[in-house]
Structure 1
Amino acid sequence: MEGSEDLDSSLLTQPWASVCFGESTFIAKACFRETGYVLLISDLSSVWYERADTDVVGKRSKELNKRLTAHVSSFLNRLSNLMCPLLEGRESDANSFSCQQTPSKLTIHVKSELSGLPFYWDFHCAAAAISHHLVRPLIRMSLTLQYQLQELASLLVQKDAEIEDYRESGAALSRAVLTGLCFSPDPLGS
């Protein structure tokens, strides 16, 4: 299923966010597309994951929202509009989130409104491998950042050598900060 691989790849690039569902605090990330969504949640000792394609979203929306008839894309758009602000730290009083947690399953219950009618959703997240969804991506990210840091340090050494070469050849540097001649904590110099 090509769409799910695309969603999983996109999920890796999403930042983690701290979220609260009732009394429980988690870190979470999500990715919503026209083909479905993926949601990854952790309490740092367990990880839960749900991937739902359009078939799952359509079926679940009919079960939970019998009075609402809308295209699956409308439900996906609504779910994105509910979760993305939450992941950005913006909560809404008009929406309610709660959760039920077991070692193998995490269900997040959402109560909201869509087109003036009550809208309900349950994210059914199953236990996931911590190493696959949390540890390996974090190690990869750490290694990437370490590599970038080494590259930046190398560029600084190269630039320092260029500046020293300019000084030795008698060039006058135009920036006082580079020459170390003047430093004023007051940007206006007063």
Structure 2
Amino acid sequence: MLLDTLHNEKLLNVPWTIRRVENKTFYIKYMFEEKEYVTLVTDLRLVWFEYGDFERIQQNARVQNIDIESEKEAIAVLTRLKQLFIDSISRCSIKKEVGKLKLHCKPSMSQIQNRINTLSWIFNCELLDPETVNDNALSGPQVIYEHFIQPSQTIVNHFTENMSDDNQIKLKMAKASASMFSTTSLSYISDLINDKNIGTIATATPMSPDEPEPPSPKKEISIITDEELKERKRREAQLLEQEERKRLMAASKKRRRL
């Protein structure tokens, strides 16, 4: 199975919903329109997709013992499906099978008790092929590239291209080996930014009165870890406590003199 380019273009700007099941993380995109729906799921290794047209809705409805005979009935069910999917996406069960991935969406207990929405539905997503020569469709790896790698690469490239040539992070990146650094690696960029050994080298040269003043250097962005932030707050609290003790001691001495 392949992902049609038209569906891919529609899904490109749809935000990902993250669903964590045990130790696995799945990323889900979905769109519900008047007569159809699409769901795209990936674990960043494989990609699954379902196109829910009239026939597909009929097929999935039979599993729930629901008979759909007309498009009007399918549209009514689709309206309920959209609400069910949105309400249960954060708690839906995900089951991988050979060539398939099933999203089982159920109403909450309170909804069942109050009979707000008793509809239960299984979205049957099919595994995308690992490669294709079709220019009008995308394989699984192509979807991962367009939806994850390419946006990340754009962010990193923008970050690096807007650095000055003498920026210490950029200099360190230039010295890094290809195996150590990749422009698609946001984590490596983060490590570089947080590197405590990165310093700024500046030299002062005399200027004549007629020379224009050089532009002020760009401010260095300092990123600290949670541990460093906690330590800073702890030290600030200690300083405040010490100052309070000194103030109380001074007030006590003053009262004794009086």
Bigger strand fraction = 1
- C-alpha separation between the residues in 2 aligned to 1:24 and 1:116? 31
RMSD: 4.0
Q: What does residue 97 of structure 1 align with?
A: 92
Q: What does residue 83 of structure 1 align with?
A: 85
- C-alpha separation between the residues in 2 aligned to 1:79 and 1:72? 10
Matched, 1:132 2:142: yes
Normalising by the residue count of structure 1, what TM-score does the alignment of the two structures yield?
0.58
Residues 121-164 of structure 1: per-residue CA shift (max 9 Å, x gap): 111111124312212332332455467669988xxxxxxxxxxx
Matched, 1:14 2:14: yes
Q: What does residue 71 of structure 1 align with?
A: 73
Listed as ranges, the gaps of 5+ residues in structure 1 are 154-167, 169-190
Shift in alpha-carbon separation, 1:147–1:106, aligned structure 2, 3 A? same
Listed as ranges, the gaps of 5+ residues in structure 2 are 131-139, 164-211, 213-258
Q: 1:29, CA displacement in angstroms?
A: 1.2
Residues 39-97 of structure 1: per-residue CA shift (max 9 Å, x gap): 1112222221111212211332244243889721222222222223555xxx4xxxx62
- C-alpha separation between the residues in 2 aligned to 1:22 and 1:82? 22
Which residue identity is paired with 1:15? P
Shift in alpha-carbon separation, 1:148–1:124, aligned structure 2, 3 A? same
- C-alpha separation between the residues in 2 aligned to 1:42 and 1:29? 9
- C-alpha separation between the residues in 1 aligned to 2:97 and 2:63? 23
Q: Between Structure 1 and Structure 2, whose CA radius of gyration is higher?
A: 2
Alignment of 1:1-190 (within 5 A): 6-21=6-21, 24-66=24-66, 71-85=73-87, 91=90, 97-112=92-107, 118-128=118-128, 129=130, 130-142=140-152, 144-145=154-155
Shift in alpha-carbon separation, 1:67–1:58, aligned structure 2, 3 A? closer
Q: What does residue 187 of structure 1 align with?
A: none
- C-alpha separation between the residues in 1 aligned to 2:11 and 2:44? 18
- C-alpha separation between the residues in 2 aligned to 1:104 and 1:19? 20
1:7/1:37 contact within 8 Å kept:
no
Q: 1:14, CA displacement in angstroms?
A: 0.9
Normalising by the residue count of structure 2, what TM-score does the alignment of the two structures yield?
0.45
User: Higher mean Cα deviation, 46-55 or 76-85?
Assistant: 76-85
Which residue identity is paired with 1:34? E
Q: Secondary structure at the match of 1:14?
A: coil
For this pair of structures, how many residues does the alignment match? 152
Q: 1:117, CA displacement in angstroms?
A: 6.5
- C-alpha separation between the residues in 2 aligned to 1:34 and 1:138? 28
